[in-house]
Amino acid sequence: MRFPLLLTLQASWLTVCVATQHYPTTWGHYDLCKSHGYTDEGPTWYYMACQPEAADMTKYLKVFLDPPNITCGDPPETYCTLENPYMCNNECDAATEELAHPPELMFDFEGRNPTTFWQSSSWKKYPKPLAVNITLSWNKTIELTDDIVITFESGRPEQMVLEKSLDYGRSWQPYQFYATDCLDAFTMEPKTVRDITQHTLLDIICTEEYSRGYVWKNDKTVRFEIKDRFALFAGPKLHNMASLYGQLDTTKNLRDFFTITDLRIRLLRPATGATMVDENNLSRYFYAISDIKVHGRCKCNLHANSCIYDKEKLTCECEHNTTGPDCGRCKRNYQARAWSAGSYLPIPKGTANICVPNSVGPVNCECFSHSNRCSYIEVLNTVICVSCKHNTRGQHCQLCKLGYYRNASAELDDENVCIDCNCNPFGSDTDRCNGTGYCKCKEGATGAKCHECLPGYLWDNGCKCK
Ligand SMILES: [Ca+2]
């Protein structure tokens, strides 16, 4: 029986504060979507940008192979080792559990000995290339937060491309090319991640770093370096995440670079060892992968701090009145202003950019013709008019400014709705008046505007005793 799995997301503030730690989980700053608070108007919610904690994303993917029947063992095959063509005691048989190498063994728990791995058929149709595509699909946008690491139990491929899709597999872009000879395989100059700068971060490179060295059995991994790329903005130990957030906030291309819905590993040529391909012993050449690491975050546009995994699909638990798998739109009845993603800025709590309920205030910035500009006050969850003219004030310019009073014979949208109190500056206490225009007089003064004196008083810049 399958239960929905809730990714819980309590960021560890402790870890954030340990400055000397390598690669602190500073992304965890954004772990709360809202908090309770108080204003003059009573209790309210304060909204903050928030996002789910980074996690092992291989638990939530589906894997597809192309060709679909490329996994070894049907019919059963015997394999030789690359180093010693006479050592042919590895058997693959899909019908026997202990001898089968299905794709899910690329994602099971590793750390056991011997390792478990997926394995392809051997290169029986040489010289036709032995090419295999491994597609990992999340059916959901995710943001990569750590290096992608692929561990090969065969030799590492001599040619391979890592590709990504941002549109659920409709279109693909390369992430990185891998070859023993980049010029020969892809007509690209060989580079490494160390050649990349802030300005060339989006460049796609070919690297020879992860293809050579089959003889060194420990060099089994092929890597796509995410953290080295982060470090170009956040510093070598990722101390200055604020700088990275700032860049991610303002540069959509950069944000998209680390965002994927699918990954595709295109295996184009298996390891062949140091010598020519031995056509008489093609059982030496195949692909075998024991582990693929993809660490990332369920992408919710900074509008959710958790995702649920239900019916084999990740979905954001949207806050801020947003909805959709990525919190990518406003809920019904919360469309008083256009949807926008949350922002990492200002550090450390960001801006929630919540969706505004239609029912809070008039939807179309109603200011009784005294203003045509409104502003949304997030703390109060309210739309208010800005720069009310004609001596008005208030959320909808429905009140008179101090020193003015309501003209009882004018409608609310009349330019003359507010009349100057016109209180005599010497005779009255303040320049304010009541709702009928009467000013508050100083001792001895009288009249609506306090410009006359009571009996026994004489006018002399105000009313003085006789
Ligand atoms: Ca495994």
Query: What is the Å distance from ligand 1's center to 103 Cα?
Result: 9
Alpha-carbon distance of 103 to 69, in angstroms, equals 11
Query: What is the Å distance from ligand 1's center to 115 Cα?
Result: 6
Which of 281, 298, 315 is the last residue in one of the domains? 298
User: Residues 6 or more apart from 369 whose CB is under 8 A from it?
Assistant: 413, 415
Residue 449 domain-assigned (yes or no): yes
Query: What is the Å distance from ligand 1's center to 182 Cα?
Result: 29
The enclosing domain of 236 has a CATH number of: 2.60.120.260
Query: What is the Å distance from ligand 1's center to 131 Cα?
Result: 21
Query: What is the Å distance from ligand 1's center to 151 Cα?
Result: 9
Query: What is the Å distance from ligand 1's center to 309 Cα?
Result: 22
Query: What is the Å distance from ligand 1's center to 136 Cα?
Result: 15
Alpha-carbon distance of 308 to 429, in angstroms, equals 64
Residues 265 and 406 in one domain: no
Query: What is the Å distance from ligand 1's center to 294 Cα?
Result: 14
Query: What is the Å distance from ligand 1's center to 108 Cα?
Result: 5
Residue 304 domain-assigned (yes or no): no
Structure tokens at 434: 């009541």
The enclosing domain of 398 has a CATH number of: 2.170.300.10
Residues 120 and 255 in one domain: yes
Query: What is the Å distance from ligand 1's center to 329 Cα?
Result: 39
Query: What is the Å distance from ligand 1's center to 337 Cα?
Result: 49
What is Dmax (Cα atoms) for the chain? 130
Burial 154-191 (b: 16+ CB within 10 A, else e): bbbbbbbbbbbbbeeeeebeebbbbbbebeebbeeebb
Residues 145 and 275 in one domain: yes
Which of 273, 298, 323 is the last residue in one of the domains? 298
Domain that holds residue 436: 374-465
The pLDDT of residue 214: 59
Residues 232 and 85 in one domain: yes
Alpha-carbon distance of 46 to 350, in angstroms, equals 12
What is the DSSP code (8-state) at residue 400? E
pLDDT in tens for each of the 466 residues of the chain? 344 444 333 333 333 323 333 334 444 468 899 988 776 666 778 899 999 999 999 999 999 999 999 999 999 999 998 888 788 888 999 999 999 999 999 999 877 678 899 999 999 999 999 999 999 999 999 999 999 999 999 889 999 999 999 999 999 999 999 999 999 999 999 999 999 999 999 999 999 999 976 555 668 999 999 999 999 999 998 888 889 998 999 899 999 999 999 999 999 999 998 778 999 999 999 999 999 999 999 999 999 999 999 989 999 999 999 999 999 999 988 888 889 999 998 888 889 999 988 764 444 568 888 987 777 776 676 778 888 899 999 888 999 999 999 998 888 889 999 999 999 999 999 999 998 899 999 999 999 999 999 999 999 888 998 7
Alpha-carbon distance of 412 to 465, in angstroms, equals 43
Residue 153 domain-assigned (yes or no): yes
Q: Which helix (H) or strand (E) holds 434?
A: none
Alpha-carbon distance of 295 to 104, in angstroms, equals 17
Residues 284 and 415 in one domain: no
Query: What is the Å distance from ligand 1's center to 290 Cα?
Result: 4
Residues 164 and 80 in one domain: yes
Query: What is the Å distance from ligand 1's center to 164 Cα?
Result: 23
Query: What is the Å distance from ligand 1's center to 66 Cα?
Result: 20
Domains in the chain: how many in total? 2
Which of 266, 298, 330 is the last residue in one of the domains? 298
Residue 307 domain-assigned (yes or no): no
User: Please, how many CA atoms are within 13 Å of residue 117, restricted to the half-sphere of its CB?
Assistant: 19
Handedness of CA 401, 406, 412, 418 (dihedral sign): negative
DSSP 358-384: TTSS-TT---TTS-S-EEEETTTTEEE
Query: What is the Å distance from ligand 1's center to 209 Cα?
Result: 23
**Distance between first and last Cα of the chain:** 98
Residue 20 domain-assigned (yes or no): no
Residues 284 and 144 in one domain: yes
Query: What is the Å distance from ligand 1's center to 230 Cα?
Result: 28
Query: What is the Å distance from ligand 1's center to 114 Cα?
Result: 9
Residue 318 domain-assigned (yes or no): no
Query: What is the Å distance from ligand 1's center to 288 Cα?
Result: 10
Contact 381, 371 (CB under 8 A): no
Alpha-carbon distance of 63 to 248, in angstroms, equals 29
Burial of 30: CB neighbours in 10 Å, binned 0-12, 13-18, 19+: buried
Alpha-carbon distance of 102 to 94, in angstroms, equals 8
Residue 163 domain-assigned (yes or no): yes
Residue 180 domain-assigned (yes or no): yes
| Cβ neighbours of 307 (radius 10 Å) | 29
Residues 381 and 289 in one domain: no
